[in-house]
Amino acid sequence: MSVTTTIQDSRPPIRIVHLGIGAFFRAFGLAYLERLNATIPSRDERYGVMGVSFRSPAVRDALAAQGYVYTALERGPDGDMARTITSLCDVALSREEQSRILAQMADEKVSIVSLTITEKGYCHHDGALDLAHPDIAHDIANPEDPVSAPGYIVASLAMRRDAGIPPFSCLPCDNLSNNGRLLADIVHALAERIDPELAAWIKTEVRFPVTMIDRIVPATTDSDRAYAATIIGYEDHAPVIHEPFSQWVIEDDFGALGRPDFAAVGAQMVADVAPFESMKLRCLNGSHTALAILGLLSGKETVSEAISDPALSDFVEYLWRWEICPSVDVPRGVDIADYCQALRKRYGNSAIVHQTVQIATDTSKKLPPRILEPIADNLQAGRSVSGLCLIIAGWMFFIRSAHMMGDVINDPLADSFGAIVNDTIDNDAYVTAMLEIDSVFSPDLAHHDMFVSRIMNWYRKIGKDGIDACLRQATREAT
């Protein structure tokens, strides 16, 4: 009997299907489940996971070749710690194995469908289902042959309802404001288009708990794989690298089939995730986007390099203190200044090679929850938005320069950006046209005089004086 067969024989039953089996969930959710399974004596009561990949077959193939067992390598200031993850039992590729995935999602043992499909995977426009999205248009026309993650959820829920099986709960683990409500709205709207009776059943029966997830997990590179081999002593083709820190806050609102005892392994089960989420999305993800975009403009390749640059680091401190923290609804008992100092330390962990270019991916989808929502709050409260506007101007500058250099822009709106760059004759016309992209900027913001003029001024100044001068000016303005 091969080693792989022995491992598979002792695998727990699949009780969770995870959509979007990238490095993040393998270093985060599966690490929690691995610890939890270690506390459950009976194999049948443990939680096995089927992962679904919506992208390339590479992850599935690498994991399948090693029986889905892989290493999660923690790298921190105190050294490395390798853990073997055995709770992943299967990985399927959506475009090749649709019926197997749907059958698994419809299986009565499955009580949770969790998701890390990134911001764009929700196919939404300002929180509402994007009916013009080609995958959504496809799924409405072919509900039993879905391609989008919401389409898979609706199709498998229909199978469960028809078979008299209670629904799973949907657990979104992406960095979006109110991710559970957003997913519920998307799924309800899609089901409504397909079968109103199914939509009514989903509305009363299916739970969509909100979550806040936090762990820094860079994309795994060849040199990470080579390094992992030196630590574990054998070749793992699908390791994940992560920092020591992790935090999972989950709204305790699951359906009839219940949930794992996440709290037993350190997750916080709460009635209201909003304060945790606003603090994390704005303080961490907002400053990450700032370091990524403005860091790229000043030639920084990684977050640890960017945070050790005095101009960037002072700017981030300024942002936290004057523009981000005042906009946050802080969770009870948390000192937000301490929280930000802990972030600083996490960013400075040079064992984690977190590329600025990775964080700058899909920025059009990241700006609303990270930067634009705090701007709207600050404008309403009469607080400064200058530093936050510098990030937006920096992003526009980055897009234009990348397009002119012929670099690939990783963003679902890349084609629209290219057209805008080509069709506008000067800086102001370019900035105005970018602000008119209504899937990013709400009309209220796009026509707010002070917001618009701040961005135009920063944009001109980046071109004229360079990013360093802008960072210094933004930091000085407050003091």
* Binding-site ranges for ligand CS2 (CB under 6 A): 175, 214-216, 284-285, 288, 358-359, 366
Give least dist CB 366 to ligand CS2, A.
Answer: 6
Q: Given its phi and psi angles, is residue 72 left (phi above 0), alpha (psi -120 to 50 degrees) or beta? A: beta
Stretch (H or E) spanning 198: helix 196-205
Nearer to ligand CS2, 8 or 358 (CB): 358
Nearer to ligand CS2, 188 or 280 (CB): 280
Give least dist CB 117 to ligand CS2, A.
Answer: 13
CA distance 273 to 270: 6
Question: Minimal CA–CA distance to 202: which of 251, 169, 179?
Answer: 169
> 């936090």: which residue's tokens?
214
Nearer to ligand CS2, 366 or 403 (CB): 366
Nearer to ligand CS2, 173 or 375 (CB): 173
DSSP state of 356: H
Give least dist CB 459 to ligand CS2, A.
Answer: 23
Give least dist CB 391 to ligand CS2, A.
Answer: 13
CA distance 189 to 131: 9
Q: Strand, helix or coil at 433?
A: helix
Q: Are 363 and 293 in contact (CB under 8 A)?
A: yes
Nearer to ligand CS2, 175 or 211 (CB): 175
Sheet holding 79-85, edge to edge: 79-85, 70-76, 240-242
Give least dist CB 415 to ligand CS2, A.
Answer: 21
Give least dist CB 185 to ligand CS2, A.
Answer: 22
Give least dist CB 303 to ligand CS2, A.
Answer: 9
Nearer to ligand CS2, 19 or 136 (CB): 19
Nearer to ligand CS2, 285 or 427 (CB): 285
Question: Minimal CA–CA distance to 242: which of 267, 214, 225, 218?
Answer: 218
Give least dist CB 221 to ligand CS2, A.
Answer: 15
Sheet holding 112-115, edge to edge: 88-93, 48-53, 14-19, 112-115, 169-172
Nearer to ligand CS2, 15 or 120 (CB): 120
Q: Are 251 and 180 in contact (CB under 8 A)?
A: yes
Q: What residues contact 403, with CB distance under 8 A and at least 6 apart?
A: 409, 417, 418, 421
